[in-house]
Amino acid sequence: MTLPIEWLNVLLSPQAIAAATLLIFLAGLSEGVGTQGVTLLMSRITPLRFAMGLLASALLYVLSAVIWMWTLWLAMRALFGVEVPLRLFFVTVSTAYGPLLLGALALLPLVGPAIRWGLRLWSFSIALASIVAVTGLTHWQAAVGALAGTLLMEGARWLLSEPAEAVARRIWALTTGKPHLVRREELPQVIPGYEPVVKGER
């Protein structure tokens, strides 16, 4: 299945790019509420810092999505000689972020993480279908291209992991006002004010 020609003008318009970016941003915000939100509140930050942290996380999410789609596009070109404008590819593949608008459902107790993975699978299947639609490749070729693109991005992330982590730490510290994320293992085990006073202990 390929895209009808009359759709192309719509998909290449600036409004389409803006709508795609907004969709990814909202998906990032929803996913941020579902995952990052828990960590932020666990770290006992103020409401303002919480909002800033979520905003920063959604902006980083958009950046990461753009880089992912760019590496996919590069992989499709290199592997299968696909000649599709990057704008068109971006707008079409961004539809894959639609299901992730429900990312906040990850907050549901016990079933939340499973829902999150379900949404990601759904999103990935939409990504494959949209790649097939925009490039005319088969599903298998699209899957190989998507895997290659993802590996390319992960490879770059691994190479740049140290500076990227330093930047992420800096952004975290700036937005939340806390030096680092509080992990579950770091939560207090003893409830202050009720411990028995033992001689020799301060």
**Site of interaction with other proteins (CB under 8 A):** 37-38, 41-42, 44-45, 47, 50, 104-105, 107-110, 112, 184, 187-191, 193-198
Residue among 182, 176, 171 at smallest CA distance from 43 = 182
Q: How far is the CB of 43 from other proteins (least distance, A)?
A: 8
Q: How far is the CB of 64 from other proteins (least distance, A)?
A: 23
> Nearer to other proteins by C-beta: 14 or 109?
109
Q: How far is the CB of 172 from other proteins (least distance, A)?
A: 16
> How many Å apart are CA 162 and CA 141, to the nearest integer?
33
> Nearer to other proteins by C-beta: 102 or 143?
102
> How many Å apart are CA 12 and CA 134, to the nearest integer?
12
Q: How far is the CB of 46 from other proteins (least distance, A)?
A: 8
Residue 54: Cβ within 10 Å count:
19
Q: How far is the CB of 107 from other proteins (least distance, A)?
A: 5
> Nearer to other proteins by C-beta: 87 or 178?
178
> Nearer to other proteins by C-beta: 53 or 145?
53
> Nearer to other proteins by C-beta: 15 or 189?
189
